[in-house]
Structure 1
Amino acid sequence: MAENKKTETKVYLKIHDFDCSIEEITALIGIEPSKAGQKGDLLPKRNIELHRKFSSWVLESGVDIHASVDEHVDALINTITPRIKILKNLIATYNGELTIVVYTHSEYNIGMYIDKVKLGILLDLGVSLDIDIYFLNDTES
């Protein structure tokens, strides 16, 4: 990223802390996760042996990483809206989170906007919101 200095964004919905299999969650929702991990699985790319402390099912927005947060949230909401009832039930039973991650070289403020309709959908869904913004210098990518 250091070469083009563009901002990169990832937005995803995560369901975690469930005690059933990932396949059961996937079958209920009817969408293949972008990523998933079962409690007890070995965590990859670690210098020491670490095992996953909880299960997670992750659905990414599917939008280009250079798109705005708004575009990512729109795409994710459009994907989950037909399944909102089952997702709401799963999130009420387990834990749900909307995660927004932004990596930027910008020297200026980073902004994001979620209109009240989409915010209402997310509130009704019962997800927590996790926003991480990483300001990178020229040596980081």
Structure 2
Amino acid sequence: MHEIKVDFRIVDFDCSVEEITSTVGINPTKVYVKGEYVTVGKSRRLRKENMWILESQSNDTLSLETHLEELAEKIKPHFDMFKLVCNKYYSEFACRIYLKKVSEESIPSVHLSADFTKLLSQLSSELDIDIYML
């Protein structure tokens, strides 16, 4: 059994979240603002960077490729504006794979289509894949 979570992030920009949103033409599903306080467990921390996040809405049990393609399809109609922003600020597709019960059937495949790797390159974005054993 596994769960997959994927989002696209634009990070550490020096303008407002609203300016990023206005430029790319899509509303984020989540934002973090530098200087805000966040509570993690019992500690309270200050956010060190701005972050604009577009999360995949696909079912958590679907393939990594399905999540990545969903996000790519949301970005493609606004590609030129995303490229402008991503060439100026750090961006990544952040993937988390949670393995709950390890068996041959529960280990998801990691497959990236040629179209997706081309998009990744054109945006100058990175791909981060973290795997957690629960």
Within 1, Cα distance between the matches of 2:114 and 2:30?
29
Within 1, Cα distance between the matches of 2:60 and 2:124?
26
* Structure 1 stretches lacking a partner, 5+ long: 1-5, 137-141
Match of 1:62 among 44, 57, 65: 57
Which deviates more, 76-85 or 107-116? 107-116
* Structure 2 stretches lacking a partner, 5+ long: none
Letter of the aligned partner of 2:59 in structure 1?
D
TM-score after normalising by structure 2 = 0.91
The alignment's C-alpha RMSD in Å is 1.3
Report the counterpart of residue 131 of structure 2 in structure 1.
133
Q: In structure 2, the residue corresponding to 1:99 is in which secondary structure? A: strand
Within 2, Cα distance between the matches of 1:17 and 1:71?
27
1:88 lines up with 2:86 in the alignment? no
Letter of the aligned partner of 2:90 in structure 1?
N
Where do 1:39-118 residues align within 5 Å? 39-104=34-99, 105-108=101-104, 109-118=107-116
Letter of the aligned partner of 1:14 in structure 2?
R
Percent identity between the aligned chains? 33
Letter of the aligned partner of 2:110 in structure 1?
M
Aligned length: 131
- How far apart are residue 34 of structure 1 and its match? 1.1
Within 2, Cα distance between the matches of 1:119 and 1:94?
19
Q: In structure 2, the residue corresponding to 1:129 is in which secondary structure? A: strand
TM-score after normalising by structure 1 = 0.87
Q: In structure 2, the residue corresponding to 1:50 is in which secondary structure? A: strand
Within 1, Cα distance between the matches of 2:133 and 2:110?
15
Higher strand proportion (structure 1 or 2): 2
Deviations 1:47-95 (A, max 9, x none): 2221100000000121111111011011111110011111111111111
